[in-house]
Amino acid sequence: MDTLTLTRPDDWHLHLRDGEALRAVVAATARQFARAIVMPNLKPPVTTVAQATAYRDRILAALRETAGDEPACSGFEPLMTLYLTDRTPPDEVRRARESGVVHAVKLYPAGATTNSDAGVTSMAAVRATLEAMQAVDLPLLIHGEVVDPGVDVFDREKVFIDTVLESLRRDFPALRIVFEHITTREAAQWVAAAPAATTGATITAHHLLYERNALFKGGIRPHWYCLPVLKRETHRRALLDAATSGDPRFFLGTDSAPHARHLKEMACGCAGCYTAPHAIELYAAAFDSVGRLDRLEGFASHHGPDFYRLSRNAQRVTVRRETWTVPEALPFGAGSIVPLAAGEPLGWRLAS
Ligand code: NCD
Ligand code: ZN
């Protein structure tokens, strides 16, 4: 198969940032995706419906400013999320449900990742808020890693399943949960065994394409560093099996997380891979690697809207087999940003 036409995909996990970073990246996503679930980990975090609505307006303004009337970007719809804190009032959940703007609430264990300091310190602290979410049927998106410094960084997701997720699932059986950016076989198995109506998981392109050796190939490679960190090959294979299985619980979420080049190439570099500009091509390469391009449309374009109870997109896009080289760097405000796989060949390309 040399060309593949599919329903226009959506990105169910995206970081767009704010200000000049937002202006640098938003069109890249809008060129590929019709909609995106926008993560709320700004500084300060997006914790209220009023903040989410104002952020949505800034995203659309930045897109107008940078993409003008570029047809591929028209109609892009940011789907907003709230950042769950120990103090999120149940009333804010009800306002979110009524807003039509906010589609989910994101749980970051405090300290787990970039801008997560305001996150949740214990599940007991958010009980009433989760009850309200379950009652109004607003999905909970979970960064599933424990933060205990005694737990090996490669085991944090697996330990989270055993110590947090299992009991959460039991205590809130009707709460819709998305286990975000899963990285392990244990997570894929947990999701596949959970009820489909209330359980989903996003999988990034980089976790389908790379295992942890990519971090150390010929020296330390900061542009492959993200959280949850890349795992061993056995886990990558399990994720690829899950993504290409046709199971509706698994859907596309890039976790494209832009950081300026100088903030990654330093002694204590930031976590996050920037994949938005070539996201669908990376996923096509991953699915093609196991001969399962026929399953890309379900994963990229059907399972996500079905879980979120939104309509599937009407437009279609085409990717074709063509080898091109990912740019070494892209403009990012006054500086630059290095996309994932910079300077490397990629075998698929989105037709304009
Ligand atoms: C994300 C970021 O930079 O905001 N970083 C990352 O490594 N994925 C945060 C996150 O999703 O964990
Ligand atoms: Zn993320």
Determine the Cα–Cα distance for residues 40 and 52; give it in Å rounded to an integer.
8
Which residues neighbour 268 within 8 Å (Cβ) at sequence distance 6 or greater? none
Rounded to the nearest 10 degrees, what angle do helices 90-99 and 127-136 cross at?
A: 30
Residue range 201-216: mean pLDDT, rounded = 98
Longest dimension (CA), the chain: 52
Compute, in angstroms, the gap from residue 13 CA to the centroid of ligand 2: 6
pLDDT in tens, 230-276: 999 999 999 999 999 999 999 999 999 999 999 999 999 999 999 99
Q: Is the shortest distance between the CB of 227 and ligand 1 below 6 Å? A: yes
Cβ 191 vs Cβ 177: under 8 Å: no
Query: In the prediction, which pLDDT does 114 show?
Result: 87
Q: Ligand 1 atom closest to Cα of 225?
A: 7
The residue assigned the tokens 């940003």 is 337
pLDDT band at 141 (very low <50, low <70, confident <90, very high): very high
SS3 content of the chain, % helix, strand, coil (to 5): 40, 20, 40
Q: Is the shortest distance between the CB of 260 and ligand 1 below 6 Å? A: no
Q: Is the shortest distance between the CB of 113 and ligand 1 below 6 Å? A: yes
Closest ligand to 116 CA? 1
Determine the Cα–Cα distance for residues 201 and 185; give it in Å rounded to an integer.
13
Smallest CA-to-CA distance from 100 within 79, 82, 83 is with 79
Q: What's the DSSP call for residue 256?
A: B
pLDDT in tens, 5-28: 999 999 999 999 999 999 999 999
Long-range contacts of 66-75 (CB under 8 A, 24+ apart): 66/23, 66/24, 66/26, 66/27, 67/26, 67/27, 67/30, 67/31, 70/27, 70/31, 72/30, 72/31, 72/352, 73/27, 73/30, 73/31, 75/34
Compute, in angstroms, the gap from residue 260 CA to the centroid of ligand 1: 13
Determine the Cα–Cα distance for residues 17 and 337; give it in Å rounded to an integer.
13
Could you tell me the pTM of the whole model? 0.98
Strands 330-332 and 77-83: unpaired
Q: Is the shortest distance between the CB of 40 and ligand 1 below 6 Å? A: no
Cβ 321 vs Cβ 347: under 8 Å: yes
Residue type, 99: S
Q: Ligand 1 atom closest to Cα of 143?
A: 12
pLDDT in tens, 184-207: 999 999 999 999 999 999 999 999
- Of 11, 12, 15, 16, the one to substitute when testing ligand 1's pocket (max ligand atoms within 8 A of C-beta) is 15
State the CB neighbour count (10 A cutoff) for residue 159.
17
Determine the Cα–Cα distance for residues 11 and 143; give it in Å rounded to an integer.
16
Question: Considering the chain, what percentage of its residues have pLDDT values greater than 70?
Answer: 100
Neighbours of ion ligand 2 (CB under 5 A): 255
Determine the Cα–Cα distance for residues 142 and 177; give it in Å rounded to an integer.
7
**C-alpha distances out from residue 202 to 11, 153, 159, 248, Å:** 9, 20, 19, 11
Compute, in angstroms, the gap from residue 142 CA to the centroid of ligand 2: 10
**C-alpha distances out from residue 268 to 29, 124, 245, 263, 271, Å:** 28, 33, 37, 8, 9
Query: In the prediction, which pLDDT does 1 show?
Result: 84
Closest ligand to 207 CA? 1
Cβ 226 vs Cβ 257: under 8 Å: yes
162 assigned to active site = no
List the catalytic residue out of 10, 11, 247, 255.
Answer: 255
Compute, in angstroms, the gap from residue 313 CA to the centroid of ligand 1: 27
Q: Ligand 1 atom closest to Cα of 181?
A: 11
Q: Is the pLDDT of residue 352 over 80?
A: no
Determine the Cα–Cα distance for residues 153 and 149; give it in Å rounded to an integer.
8
Supply 174's token pair: 């009707």
Query: In the prediction, which pLDDT does 284 show?
Result: 98
Closest ligand to 145 CA? 1
- Of 17, 22, 41, the one to substitute when testing ligand 1's pocket (max ligand atoms within 8 A of C-beta) is 41
